[in-house]
Amino acid sequence: MKIVILERNSVGTDISVDCFRDFGEVEIYGNTVTVEETRERIKDADVVIGNKAPLNESTLAGSKVKLISDFSTGYDNIDTAYCKENGICVCNIQNYCTAAVAQHTIALTMYLLEHLPHYDHYVKDGTYASQDRFSNFDLRFTELEGKTWGIVGMGHIGRKVAQIVEAMGCKVVFYSASGNSSVTEYTRVDFDTLLKDCDFISIHCPLSERTRNLFDADAFSKMKNSAILINVARGPIIHTQALYDALTNGEIAAAGLDVLEQEPISKDNPLGQIQDSNKLIITPHLAWASVEARQRCVDQVYENIQNFLKGSPSRRIV
């Protein structure tokens, strides 16, 4: 059997993928972007391990691919209808980065809430050494205790964040973008109530037509001017220009982003103009990428192939 890994670098070169040699020949590419590259590289493959590379009729037609198992939970890059029609099994991975994304959500929040870049610079530039008192707190900060934390998307990650912030003293409410949530342990509210009442809002929902540009100019106008917004889900859930305006006009206090409308960030993204890290911090889509999460990613794809060969594919989408 031949396995082709199209985007080996997506799990990091520090994580071994040698385990896939247990199943046969393995052909590895650091990254694959274009239709032409994809088509050529998978034409003789039995199993394709992808991530973002396009896997649809234009790349799969004429191939002998039997299984696609992405290094991701999302499978927007795969034409599942075409795969179903042509007998190609599609599997994803699930819940491999819940702890990592929840941890990063809290890290972004605390970085902004306590103005850590300001105080770190205050010490390192010599200002602290020249003052005549032991402490400095010129930028005010508050506690999580007693505040209201709103969650958009109460799936595995949303629930993990809820557990953490509740333990830190927050009241947790959530908005179900799909309207189909079965969660009962936390209070469900409508979107306007979430915007109006919450001191912190973190986004953990999938990107869909319901959630695209969910946070637009109208949404920001309804938020507290002391609110902090965290997005570790998908970039297009927030309207980029509207967020820039809200931050520069003081409609909200700060935002922490791990995802953007275009990745890597485009040179004309207005958010790149905001250099004040007390107001905006952007990380390069790394919330999911703890060492442990990336290892689980590889392990689950291995299990998917193993179970497929046994005739009972796990985490099957198609």
Catalytic residues: 234, 263, 285
Whether the bond between 284 and the residue before it is cis, its omega within 30 degrees of 0, is no
Please classify residue 145 by burial: count the beta carbons closer than 10 Å to its beta carbon, then call 0-12 exposed, 13-18 middle and 19+ buried. Answer: exposed
State the amino acid at position 39 in one-letter form: R
- Residue 109 and residue 10: Cα distance in Å, rounded? 26
- Residue 14 and residue 295: Cα distance in Å, rounded? 10
Residue 276 phi/psi, 5-degree rounding, is -80, 105
| Secondary structure (DSSP) of the chain | -EEEES-GGGG-TTS--GGGGGGSEEEE-S---SHHHHHHHHTT-SEEE-SSS-BSHHHHTT----EEE-SSS--TTB-HHHHHHTT-EEE---SSSHHHHHHHHHHHHHHHHTTHHHHHHHHHTTHHHHSSSS----S----STT-EEEEE--SHHHHHHHHHHHHTT-EEEEE-SSS-----SSEE--HHHHHHH-SEEEE-PPP-TTTTT-B-HHHHHHS-TT-EEEE-S-GGGB-HHHHHHHHHTTSSSEEEES--SSSSPPTT-GGGG---TTTEEE--S-TT--HHHHHHHHHHHHHHHHHHHTT--SSB--
User: Contact 95/68 with Cβ under 8 angstroms?
Assistant: no
